[in-house]
Amino acid sequence: MTEFITDRIRNIQESSTLRMSKLSRELKEQGQDIINLSIGEPDFDTPDHIKLAAIAAIEENYTHYPPVAGYPELRRAIVEKFKNDNGLTYKASQVIVSTGAKQSLMNVIFCTLQEGDEIIVPQPCWVSYPEMIKLSCAKVNYIKAGIDSGFKISARELEAAITPKTRAFIYSSPNNPTGSFYSHEELAELAKVFARHPNILIISDEIYEHINFTGKHASLAQFPELYDQVVVINGVSKAFAMTGWRIGYMAGPEWLAQACEKLQGQFTSGACSISQRAALAALTSSLAPTKEMCKTFQKRRELVVRLFNGIEGFRFHAPEGAFYLFPDISVFFGKSFDGELIKNDEDFCMFILKEAKVTLVAGSGFGDADCVRISFAASSDQLEEAAGRIKEAIKLLK
């Protein structure tokens, strides 16, 4: 049969993070001793009280179609979360629960962008932003940020990027892949620019909110003059080690929530009923397990900074949140081993995989081909072993 794959699908790229994670699993299944530092999820199990809530939900027969926008009690719990954690006031009608924060992002992008529109995206950025935007047929206007600026953009750069066609802006803080974190003071400077452009929708991806090492989380939604311009994206995957449960949510203007509910009703309907009950338990119970997990990540952050500072040629900005290191490894381009020339970040990752048995993710998927992403969502022993292997492999390059 003739292939009927659309250009829309042919033109998007496979997720580089998922590709490397898949390769890592395949090599492990072949018996190879692979250390996977490509994965973007906490290496912790979901806390027991959340799992028990899911078991109770099954026993209580939460096994029928849930409302498209999410159970009312979960939406109310999300409202309380925003009030208590972020000082933000929403109504339940402004909240939509989806099958992961990724779907929440896709809902918002599909509902607000179309051909002829432009969206500003600071780079490096999460690999899925550009591909989601491609599917909407909008155009991406990138602002490049490098190590010297802590991978953060300035108000001047933001203002210069805005055109009459600018419809939206998307950013994440803490950031994937760099671990950079915008302070309240830094966001205040950006807020002044956005206040002069009230027709720009701000998509604030805050999925790593609770994994930050600098202090209290800050959001552009906290600036009163921007409240009606901002849609906040969050979920339970990172903060509660619930990646497999697939629950995300958005909160923003009511007109946008209604549009997202309409789209989701035709796409997936409501998110998994059992997962929603588990998410309700996560959001209405103590954050103690989350805080303990964050403490562990902070110790690992200190460890990887020390370990990779000890590898000649690695240059990076110490992460302020999330669980990633994003070093510049371009010094190795042009070097070779055993007849194999390292021309770019992809070649470097494959060299490290072959010679060190460690999986990393090429930075080009995030918008910076001079870098690679290293996840420290792994045990301290694994991180030390991986760094040692990488250090020895690099000595082979000439």
How do residues 137-179 score in pLDDT, each as one tens digit? 999 999 999 999 999 999 999 999 999 999 999 999 999 999 9
Q: CB count, 10 Å around CB of 65? A: 8
**Strand spans (E) along 278-357:** 324-325, 336-337, 340-341
**Count of residues making up the chain:** 398
* Nearest in space to 220 (alpha carbons), one of 210, 235, 205, 208: 205
- Each of the 398 residues of the chain gets a pLDDT tens digit; together they read 567 888 888 888 887 777 777 877 787 788 888 999 998 899 999 999 999 999 999 999 999 999 999 999 999 999 999 999 999 999 999 999 999 999 999 999 999 999 999 999 999 999 999 999 999 999 999 999 999 999 999 999 999 999 999 999 999 999 999 999 999 999 999 999 999 999 999 999 999 999 999 888 999 999 999 999 999 999 999 999 999 999 999 999 999 999 999 999 999 999 999 999 999 999 999 999 999 999 999 999 999 999 999 999 999 999 999 999 999 999 999 999 999 999 999 999 999 999 999 999 999 999 999 999 999 999 999 999 999 999 999 999 99
> Cα dist. 333→176, 177, 259, 396, 397 in Å?
24, 21, 47, 14, 10
C-alpha closest to that of 268 among 394, 49, 102? 102
Question: Hey, what CATH topology would domain 64-283 get?
Answer: Aspartate Aminotransferase; domain 2 (3.40.640)
What's the chain's Rg over C-alpha atoms? 21
Name the token pair of 147: 């190590």
Please spell the DSSP secondary structure of 157-176, one letter per residue. Answer: HHHHH--TTEEEEEEESS-T
> Contact 167/55 with Cβ under 8 angstroms?
no
The string of pLDDT tens digits covering residues 250-280 is: 999 999 999 999 999 999 999 999 999 999 9
- The fold of 7-45+289-394 is Aspartate Aminotransferase, domain 1 (3.90.1150)
Q: Which residues face 321 on adjacent strands?
A: 212
| CA–CA distance, 115 with 128 (Å, rounded to integer) | 19
As a whole number of angstroms, the distance between CA 45 and CA 285 comes to 17
CA-to-CA distance for 248 and 389, rounded, in angstroms?
A: 37
Give residue limits of the domains in the chain: 7-45+289-394, 64-283
Q: Which of 8, 17, 96, 1 is nearest to 364 (CA)?
A: 17
C-alpha to C-alpha distance for 71 and 277, rounded to whole angstroms: 8
Whole-model pTM over 0.85: yes
How many CA atoms lie within 13 Å of 309's alpha carbon, on the beta-carbon side? 9
